[in-house]
Structure formats: structure tokens, C-alpha cells
Structure 1
Amino acid sequence: MLLNKVSKILDNLYLTNMKGAQNIDEIKKKGIKHILNISFKPNYLKDNETLSLSYTNLRVEDLYYSNLIESFEEFYELIEKTRNENNGILVHCQAGCSRSATVVLAYLMKKNNLTKQEALDYVRSIRPLVGPNHSFFQQLEMWFQMDYMLDTKGNDTNSQQFLFLIQIDQINKQLKEIKEEYEKKTEKDPNVIFGSLSKIVQICTNPILGLISEYQKDKLITLFDNQDPRVLEAMNNFEKSFIEIGLFKNSNLYRENDFIKNTIPNFLKLIEN
């Protein structure tokens, strides 16, 4: 099966799925010494003493709000170091198509100064089923636009703006899909209302790239202002804790709106536009 194949992307750089990452014969044959696991699955060969493997893990789901971009530089350095030591590194996720492929694409882009599409075309020539989700593809574009110098500490205004624009785009797509589905229902029974509300709550309580903003609440009210009053009431009752400023792991403090106005005016400009 193609998905299980341990695909050679470059010398000492391989891409596969979960089953491929358990293929002891292939790992030995290809001289793989490090495995980069981009999933919630365990490191199955960690205790196999005959392989002398080291592991790096990033527990992230293949979802629209998942953040990979903050790890691009770290993984670039890891892959580069392993290859320079003439050891093989294997990158995998569950299917070897989206999360792990995104990390490999980010490496190729920086290493060879490629666009995301150029990198994708190259990898697909080797592993045709590769396909990052839309959010990961946008993160790769931002990686390219920022000349592979994304400020992962959130101090650079341009980085923050890019992150926020990506978030807005993802929120809009998801909410419009819910609205269209909701409007197709001729009878607004309780199950339909509950289903729509559940999806809304999921979108508005899951940070996209680590940032939740007041924009989500305002956009929801705009989209659903003519719908069932119970849905609107639920959206008007969002807690203050859903307003979060903090782009990455180390910036998860909750702030009031005045903090946004006084400290990060660029966010307000983006919202108003």
C-alpha cells in the first residue's frame, strides 16, 4: 500500500505513515536513526534496543485550528542536523499525508528556497497522496512570505498580522458552512439548533494558531443575526475567557478588550476591515 511506503524525499530524509514507522526492516535498511512523530500515537519502536532510535514528538491533530508553523524552524534544524550527521530521519503522522508532509514541505521550502506549490509538486512526484489541509497550506504560505523568519515569540507585528488574517479566514469559512447548512433546514427543530450551536461553540472555543479574539463573537452575531433567538442569545453570552491574547505556547494569558486596544492596535484595524 502506497501510504505504508517509507518514501525517500531526499538523502537521509523519509516520509511515511504510522505503519511505515513500525517497519523495522525498512528503518534498518535506510539507516534511520531519528523519528519525528507528528501525531498523538505512541512511539512504537522506542524500546527496541537493536535500532538505537531517538524520537521527537509533536502532539497535534490534523484540524483547521492546529498550529504547526511555530515548530517549522525547530524541525528544520533537527532535520538538517540529522542529515548532516549522515543519519536518516523519518517524519510521520497517522497517514503520512498532511501533518508530517507539512513539516517536510516546510523543510524543503527553506532548504531550497521553494514556494509551497513547488515543494508540494516535488513531494507528490515521490508520494502522490500527500495533501496538507487548507490551514497547513496557509501556514506554509506564511512561512514563505516571512522568508522563513517567523517570530515565534509574538514580538513581530507582521507575524502577528499574518497569524490573525489566517485565523479570520478559517473562522469565516467554518461559520459560513454552518450558516448555509442551517438555512437549508426548513424546520428549525431543537436538534438542528443544538447541532448548529455545538459547531459554533467548537469553533469559538478552539484557538486557531493559539489566538482567540473578540472577532469570533462579532462575526457569529453578524452571520446569525436573523436566525433563532436561542442561538443568538447563546452567542451573546460568551464569557470573557474566550478573549485571549497570546500567539504561542508561552503566551496564554487572558486579557480584557482594553489590553487589545492599548497594546495591539493592529488587531483592531484588521477587525474593522
Structure 2
Amino acid sequence: MAISQITPSLYLSGVEAVNPAALARRRVTLLVLAADELLFPEPVGVELMRLPIRDEPHAPLAQHFDSVVERIQQNHRGSTLVCCAAGRSRSPALIMAFLMKSEGLSLLQAYRRVLEVRPFIRPNAGFWRQLQEYERQLRHCSSVRMVATSQGVLPEAVGQAHDLPHCLNV
């Protein structure tokens, strides 16, 4: 699992891809680590922002959305890498929150943008609900709704005439 580039200065990965050479090649000066179960030494010359969050639906990831967005926006020295254990749930959710706030994207647009470069993302249902609430705070509407399916509660795209409702994150 490689490091995925979201913007010219924003990357997403799991911890297995993080090594000094990969950080140097991408000029990473800020590493956002969203995991409480991982022991991770602070890389030399890279600021480490630790978020003690488990990949569980009830984990309060949303309490970190604004601080992560602000810290990424303040990182003018180089690039930022947001990672978690596998780069599938916590870190994509944080990147989606960043894209919604900093670029004004809807949750659906942010999801599609991240999915385009990292097709195996799968934020858990609790993170989707928190992202939905964040979108309502930012945009006063929601581009995604949660629906019960045979595979559990999943996000579904809504509100676009040209898009038929379809489940995301499957």
C-alpha cells in the first residue's frame, strides 16, 4: 500500500508506507498520525501530530477535524502526510474533512476525490456520521445519508438529479 497524493502538498497512507526516504522524497514536514494503538517514533525533521483515535464507530474523530485542518493549512514549510494503521478509515476521514473545510467540497465530492487516488478507502459508519454532521455545520446541507443495508449501515449519495442514490463505501 503506497502513499497516495491528494493535493500537491497533501498525502495519505497507512503506517507501513512511512519511512525516512518516502517522507524526504515528498518533502513531508508534518505527519498526522491518527492511531492510539501504534508506537511510532517521531521522524527527524518532521513534526508529528498524534491523534489518539481508534478505528471504532463511537471514536470521537470529529473533535480533531478543525485542529487537523488548521495545522495542515499552517504547514508552509513542506508537505503533510496523514496516516493511520492501514490508510483506509481514520486518515481518509480526516482528509475528507480537510477538503470540505479548506476547499469547500461537499462530503460526496471529498469522498470521490480521495477514492479516485485511493480506491480501497472505507471509513467506518461512525466516521461517516461525524463527517455528515461536519458537512451540515459547514454547508447547512448533506450530500450523503446513512441507510440500513444487508451489509450494515452504509452511506448513500443523495441530492443530485444526475446521480441515482447508490451506496458508497461498499
Aligned counterpart in structure 1 of residue 22 of structure 2, from 14, 23, 26: 26
Superposed displacement of residue 58, structure 1:
0.8
The reply to whether residue 36 of structure 1 matches residue 27 of structure 2 is no
Q: Deviations over 1:245-269 (max 9, x none)?
A: xxxxxxxxxxxxxxxxxxxxxxxxx
- The residue identity in structure 1 corresponding to 2:50 is N
User: Equivalent residue for 1:270?
Assistant: none
User: Equivalent residue for 2:45?
Assistant: 52
TM-score (norm 2): 0.78
Relative distance call for 1:129 and 1:24 in structure 2 (3 A) is same
Superposed displacement of residue 43, structure 1:
2.2
Give the distance between the partners of 1:147 and 1:60, measured in 2 at CA. Answer: 23
User: Equivalent residue for 2:136?
Assistant: 145
Aligned-partner SS, 1:130: coil
Higher relative contact order by CA 8 Å / sep ≥ 6: 1 or 2? Answer: 2
Larger Rg: 1
The reply to whether residue 75 of structure 1 matches residue 68 of structure 2 is yes
Q: Deviations over 1:130-188 (max 9, x none)?
A: 11111101111100101179xxxxxxxxxxxxxxxxxxx9xxx8xxx9xxxxxxxxxxx
Greater helix proportion? 1
Task: Count matched residues.
Answer: 142
Q: Is the 8 A contact 1:116 1:137 kept in 2?
A: no
Aligned-partner SS, 1:34: strand
User: Equivalent residue for 2:120?
Assistant: 129
Aligned-partner SS, 2:133: helix
Task: Please show how residues 178-197 of structure 1 align to structure 2 within 5 Å.
Answer: none
- The residue identity in structure 2 corresponding to 1:9 is I
| Greater than 4 Å deviation, 4+ residue runs | none
Q: Is the 8 A contact 2:32 2:83 kept in 1?
A: yes
Give the distance between the partners of 1:135 and 1:9, measured in 2 at CA. Answer: 23
Aligned-partner SS, 1:147: helix
TM-score (norm 1): 0.49
Work out the percentage of aligned pairs sharing the same amino acid: 24
Q: Is the 8 A contact 1:110 1:148 kept in 2?
A: no
Give the distance between the partners of 2:131 and 2:112, measured in 1 at CA. Answer: 14
Task: Please show how residues 1-273 of structure 1 align to structure 2 within 5 Å.
Answer: 3=1, 5-21=2-18, 23-40=19-36, 41-44=38-41, 46=42, 48=43, 51-82=44-75, 85-147=76-138
**What RMSD, in angstroms, separates the aligned Cα atoms of the two structures?**
1.9
Q: Deviations over 1:214-250 (max 9, x none)?
A: xxxxxxxxxxxxxxxxxxxxxxxxxxxxxxxxxxxxx
Please list every run of 5 or more consecutive structure 1 residues that lacks an aligned counterpart in the other structure.
150-168, 178-273
Superposed displacement of residue 122, structure 1:
0.8
Q: Is the 8 A contact 1:43 1:55 kept in 2?
A: no
